[in-house]
Amino acid sequence: MGHSLYGGWNLHRQVPAADSGVSESVRVCTGVDSHGDPHLGDDLSHDDEGRLPQHQKCGQEPQGLFVTWIVNWLIKPFTMYGMASLFFFVVFKAFITPELATEYLAGAVLLGAVPCTAMVFVWSALTKGDPAYTVVQVATNDLIILVAFVPIVKFLLGVSNVFMPWDTLILSVVLFVVIPLAGGMLTRYFVTQKKGAEYFENAFVKKFDGITTIGLLLTLVLIFAFQGQVILENPLHIVLIAIPLVLQTFLIFSIAYGVCWLLKLPHRIAAPAGMIGASNFFELAVAIAVALFGTTSPAALATTVGVLTEVPVMLFLVKIANKTKGRFPA
């Protein structure tokens, strides 16, 4: 689910669906066409004004990728752990028992360790981010999930004395990352072989634009169907959980967006970088929380609160990014 929305992005030469986005994104940055051959002629040439097309600037502006990787994997999981621990165990200790605090912390850690849901493409579009660069940022983070997510979660929850079985974590990554990614790559390969890259990019991918949106909405409906009663019965705890999650979102956005400003990166790269760091792959976080702790567990509730807060907070961050666009290079 978290990867299926890549397909809605039309680049200069229409990069296709995100499920095939990893290999295509690498090709976009390295100057290799959809058949694996190096671009010749006008694909690598400058435009009429002597500039390279935007989607070929990825390799020339790698700082945006490094910012995204460092913030998402070396900063975000640990600030989430620190923020959640501070509020659940210290600030709100009069309202939350230690047992509940531990499970809320587990849910928060799951959110903090899985960056960038498919909604990132919506936020990037609203800030007029570079779609080609956004695909690369998201696709490379998805690759990092394969190797970094499980050990980070295992470590942080181990520090909190929360038992997290390796097999459940690995199975969740396989189901929500590996299978969609492999399915997309295989689909692209076979459709391209049979009907050509132009058909895949201009006709096949567009057939799924509406389906991906429906799928994301259906995921949200299922999440709230399981958690609706729990939410209604615990309004105070919803607010208490939301506070550190919202503060964490603002913190990570500020770090990523601020570093991009210091590096003098263009806004079309800086805005998506901030959004990717701030956004969470909530589908994966909710799935793991439900699998380990149950559908009505405090950990699952914490991840659901993350879903509740994400859209309004991210829309506010979009507004901030658009208002500060003039402070970045053109």
Q: The domain that contains 23 carries what CATH number?
A: 1.20.1530.20
- Asked if residue 3 belongs to a domain, the reply is no
Band of pLDDT at residue 162, cut at 50, 70 and 90: confident
49 domain-assigned = no
SS3 assignment for the chain:
CCCHHHHHCCCCCCCCCHHHHHHHHHHHHHCECCCCCECCHHHCCCCCCCCCCHHHCCCCCCHHHHHHHHHHHHHHHHHHHHHHHHHHHHHCCCCCCHHHHHHHHHHHHHHHCCECCCCHHHHHHHCCCCHHHHHHHHHHHHHHHHHHHHHHHHHHHHHCCCCCCHHHHHHHHHHHHHHHHHHHHHHHHHHHHHHCHHHHHHHHHHHHHHHHHHHHHHHHHHHHHHHHHHHHHCHHHHHHHHHHHHHHHHHHHHHHHHHHHHCCCCHHHHHHHHHHHHCECHHHHHHHHHHHHCCCCHHHHHHHHHHHHHHHHHHHHHHHHHHCHHHCCC
Instruction: Give residue 319's domain range.
Output: 14-32+57-324
Q: Phi/psi zone of residue 14: left (φ > 0), alpha (ψ -120 to 50 degrees), beta?
A: left
pLDDT of amino acid 31: 40
Positive or negative: CA dihedral 91, 96, 101, 105 = negative
**Taking each helix axis from N to C terminus, what angle separates 63-70 and 131-159, rounded to the nearest 10 degrees?**
20
pLDDT for the residue 102: 93
pLDDT given for residue 56 in this prediction:
52
If you search the block for the tokens 């230690």, which residue do you land on? 98
pTM listed for this prediction:
0.74
pLDDT given at position 67: 94
pLDDT in tens, 224-280: 777 777 778 778 999 999 999 999 999 999 999 999 999 999 999 999 999 998 988
Residue 222 one-letter amino acid: L
Residue 238 domain flag:
yes
Q: How sure is the predictor about 111, in pLDDT bands with cuts at 50, 70 and 90?
A: very high
For residues 312 and 317, give the distance between their C-alpha atoms in angstroms, rounded to a whole number: 9
**pLDDT at residue 60, as a whole number:** 61
Higher pLDDT, 182 or 214: 182
Q: What's the average model confidence in pLDDT over 54-74?
A: 78
- Asked whether residue 45 is assigned to any structural domain, the reply reads no
pLDDT of residue 59: 55
What does the pLDDT read at residue 294?
82
Q: Looking at this protein, which amino acid is placed at residue 144?
A: I
Select from 123, 109, 114, 42 the least CA-distant residue to 244.
109
Which of 44-48, 129-133, 301-305 has the lowest average pLDDT? 44-48
Whether the predicted pLDDT of 169 surpasses 90: no
Q: What's the confidence (pLDDT) of residue 57?
A: 54
pLDDT at residue 325, as a whole number:
94
Q: Average pLDDT, stretch 68-86? A: 94
CA atoms within 13 A on the CB side of 127: 35
pLDDT higher for 121 or 57? 121
Residue at 120 is within a domain: yes
Lookup: tokens for 212: 């991906």
Residue 5 falls within a domain, yes or no?
A: no
What per-residue confidence (pLDDT) applies to 238? Answer: 92
For 64-87, b/e burial (b = at least 16 CB within 10 A) is bbebbbebbbebbbbbbbebbbeb
Share of the chain above pLDDT 70, in %: 77
Residue 1 in domain:
no
9 assigned to some structural domain: no
CB-CB contact of 112 with 248 (8 Å): yes
Each residue of 4-61: pLDDT tens digit? Answer: 333 333 333 333 344 444 334 434 443 444 443 444 333 434 444 344 444 455 556 7
Domain count, the chain: 1
